[in-house]
Chain A
Amino acid sequence: MQEVLITGVGAISHLGHGADAFWHGLLRAESSPGEVADPHARMSVPLMYSVPEQPLPEISSDGDFDGGGVPPGLASRYAIEGARQALADAGLGEVPAERTAVVIGTGMGDSGLHERWRTDGRPDADGEWAPVFSVASALGAWLGAEGPVSSISNACAASGFGLSAAADLIRTGVADVVVAGGAEAYSRVALACFNRLGAIDPERCRPFDARRAGTVFGEGAGIMILESAEHARARSAPRVYAELAGEGWSCDAHHATAPEPAGTQIVRAMRAALEQAGASAEEVGCVVPHGTGTELNDVVESGALHTVLGERAARTPLYSLKALVGHTGGAAAALGTVAAALMLHHRKVPPNRPVAELDPQCRVRLPESEVPLEGRFALVNAYAFGGNNVSLVLKEARA
């Protein structure tokens, strides 16, 4: 079976543009959410970890980009910019278009564009149907891919399933290269609904903190170049961050929004991913948890980690990414995977943003100082409304 390597990374987040900005932001471990710029955000907690203002490449039908009459919204532009970064990082030259695929996870697609049309009017009011979930297609058109170009929308786990589906494309010989990851931009509807559900922390995103009061959304994109080992070796790829070595999927089939309290299916997904990767608990050097800051999720995930990792659970460092960049929804698993790949690459776990008071029900280790990475594997978890669970295991690899 083909090994699936991560040979290029791109990241856009509250920490800035580019994988370097992302990594240095992780090392600084400082951030705070702000009020969204939308004057129409009529809600009690309009907080978000927004992407800082910085010019994105102009992508319009007036230029080289032709999306078939579907205008690219902000999520599409994040995805394209992330892909541009990842492709440059991978040093990828000419790849046959029919061997190149795209898989993007996104929970809200380009909803923000449609929301803007509601307040500002649509420039081409007599235009064509504009599907909301056109992020992957916009990227496919920009890239000129001819392989599958797919959009997966399993909410906050979307890009975890997307990366896994992308790996399946390589393992089954459908593609040699997949531009894969997730993208999410501000959506007034999503933030309003989370406000209505009382699920937004008015202070900041505080996973595993005893005083956490919900999550705080973030926006951004994590895009990676997944490549078959054969293809990467043949072209002498300049760098390999990690191997995507195992993925586990499951569904709670329990409740629309709440995780199943025993975490049975969460455990199953983690175990499946570790087994496929050939990783023992002792070899897991770091976990990037789903850890959203919602009360039950953090408790259930902590318990599940103890079930899976046993006595190692209390000693294995967690890297709580959402505490720094917020909950980036459909992009969360992809940004978590970028973080894990960078940790394997740099052989260290960045300092966590300090937790004021660790929830005694969450017996996890969140180092507040940088620690060396011990172990060849990193585990990334992502869970979503609908009880959708996915775990990814990355394995140390070199060019």
Chain B
Amino acid sequence: MTARPYDSGELVVSGIGVVTPWTDQPEKAALADRPAVPGQWFDHRTRLGPRGYKYLPPASQFFLAAAKYALADSDDDPARHAAERRGAAVGTNSSAVALHDSMDRTVLEESAAALSPASAPYFSINLFGSRLATEHGLKGFNLTLTTPRVAGLESLETGARAVAAGRASWLLAGATEEALPEGLPGHERSERGAAALVLEPAGAVRARGGRVYGGCRVSSHFLAPAVAASAEGPERARRLIARGVAGAGFDGTGTGSGSGAAGVLRVIAVVDESAVGRAVASAAGPGATLVAAGAGALEPLLQVAGALAELTAPVLVVATAPGGNLSLALLTPPAGQDGR
């Protein structure tokens, strides 16, 4: 089994930041054991600073904090990359749901005039990641992806593709989510928190003696729900995963007899009980670690961050959505740590 080595220009992860109600340690944040925490678990004053953050919605605060930790972890120095060469991408599904719900009820019960002018701009979901660019001078680009459940993984994929296209040379990507309002379907699976990764060209990190957690190659696919629900659903899912793994440069499929579409890879599959989730879980094989998906795009990123934090062999993180989205993140440790 081999993973294609990353060349000096390919992005690798040099910093990880995670903020969750139960821990900020990436490897622990990904574990299933998640103790109950009080509602007010995040204090923006201590996490971000005494002034200037009060009126930011929670998911925006979470992402700023995760980014702050990731930047510190990567020993970031803005002087290394010009502001125009620094790009950002964030994935989110549910950041604005509670805010929209509250705003709409204000309009329904009073009128638009009763809305808070400070929070009104946040009807636009891309503002949840915009403060990041302002605060850290990221002028390359600042993408917001919202694809159900896989938006965080897509922030890595689309962001990396943009870097490869020359739109930037440094990337901060991640996911952030806020809980759904009580009573809304899916509330019980709400996500709260954020994960952020700093990605830089491998050669640049090596040249400055920085830490490389590993490579992260993401590919996205689609398994239509009707196909997933059919008898051939698991086989179609298996083919998509095998294609994605091969496309990411991993040659090991089929060597682990009976171990699923990804061969001998360790697989973490973030799935639900939908037809798509069931097909992908089946395709991932009995050796895969199944993680219950939440109502958002955070869980797959938590799994990526947790796996990267202690990466010694290639890992595949798979995420699905009931609507058909399927993304794969192949994580490969730095050269010399992958058993080759």
Contact = CB atoms under 8 A, between A and B. Distances in A.
A151 B146 contact: yes
Given A137-B323, A253-B134, A256-B131, A128 B107 contact: no
Contacts of B137: 253
A249 B131 contact: no
Given A149-B147, A165-B158, A189-B100, A256 B121 contact: yes
Interface stretch (A224-232, A297-305, A314-322, A379-387): A379-387
B101 A118 contact: yes
Interface stretch (A19-27, A82-90, A192-200, A203-211): A192-200
B124 A251 contact: no
Given A68-B323, A197-B120, A168 B165 contact: yes
B130 A42 contact: no
A144 B226 CA distance: 9
B304 interface: no
A109 B146 contact: yes
A68 B321 contact: yes
B126 interface: yes
Interface residues of A, number: 84
Contacts of A195: 112-113
B288 interface: no
A254 interface: yes
Contacts of B290: none
B142 A150 contact: no
Interface string B128-139: 011101101111
A165 B96 CA distance: 24
A141 B164 contact: no
Contacts of B87: 249, 251
B126 A196 contact: no
Contact of A385 (B108, B126, B162): B126
Contacts of A192: 103-104, 107, 112, 115, 123
A252 B141 CA distance: 9
A276 to B, nearest CB: 9
B205 interface: no
B162 A249 contact: yes
Contacts, number: 267
A165 B180 CA distance: 29
**Chain B interface residue number, banded:** 35 or more
B5 interface: no
A172 interface: yes
Contacts of B221: 98, 146-148
A146 to B, nearest CB: 5
Interface string B169-202: 0000000000010000110010000000000000
A114 B98 CA distance: 12
Interface string A50-83: 0000000000000000111110000000000000
B117 interface: yes
B105 interface: yes
Contact of A189 (B104, B126, B134, B223): B104
A165 to B, nearest CB: 6
B130 A386 contact: yes
B229 A66 contact: yes
Contacts of A133: 93, 125, 146-148, 151
A147 B189 CA distance: 28
Interface stretch (A28-36, A153-161, A236-244, A277-285): A153-161
B143 interface: yes
Interface string A103-121: 0001111010011001100
Interface string B267-279: 0000000111000
Contacts of A141: 224-226, 323-324
Contact of B243 (A98, A102, A165, A252): A98
B97 interface: yes
Contact of B142 (A138, A190, A388): A388
Contacts of A42: 107-108, 110-112
Contacts of B120: 193, 196-197
Contacts of B141: 161, 249-251, 388
B222 A149 contact: yes
B115 A196 contact: yes
A386 B223 contact: no
Contacts of B134: 253-256, 387
A131 B296 CA distance: 8
Nearest to A390: B141
A97 B228 CA distance: 14
A40 B325 CA distance: 34
Contact of A149 (B130, B162, B227, B324): B324
Nearest to A260: B139
Interface of A: 40-44, 66-70, 98, 102, 106-109, 111, 114-115, 118-119, 122, 125-134, 136-138, 140-141, 144-155, 158, 161, 165, 168-169, 171-172, 174, 187-193, 195-197, 249-257, 265, 268, 272, 384-388
User: What are the 5 tightest A-B residue pairs by CB atom distance, in nearest-first order?
Assistant: A129-B186, A386-B130, A68-B225, A133-B146, A137-B323
20 contacts: A114-B97, A114-B100, A118-B108, A126-B185, A127-B185, A128-B274, A129-B322, A131-B94, A137-B324, A140-B224, A154-B143, A155-B127, A172-B161, A189-B103, A195-B112, A196-B113, A256-B134, A386-B127, A386-B130, A386-B133
Interface of B: 83-84, 87-88, 93-94, 96-97, 100-101, 103-105, 107-108, 110-113, 115, 117, 120-121, 123-127, 129-131, 133-134, 136-149, 151, 154, 157-158, 161-162, 164-165, 167, 180, 185-186, 189, 219-229, 240, 243, 274-276, 295, 321-325
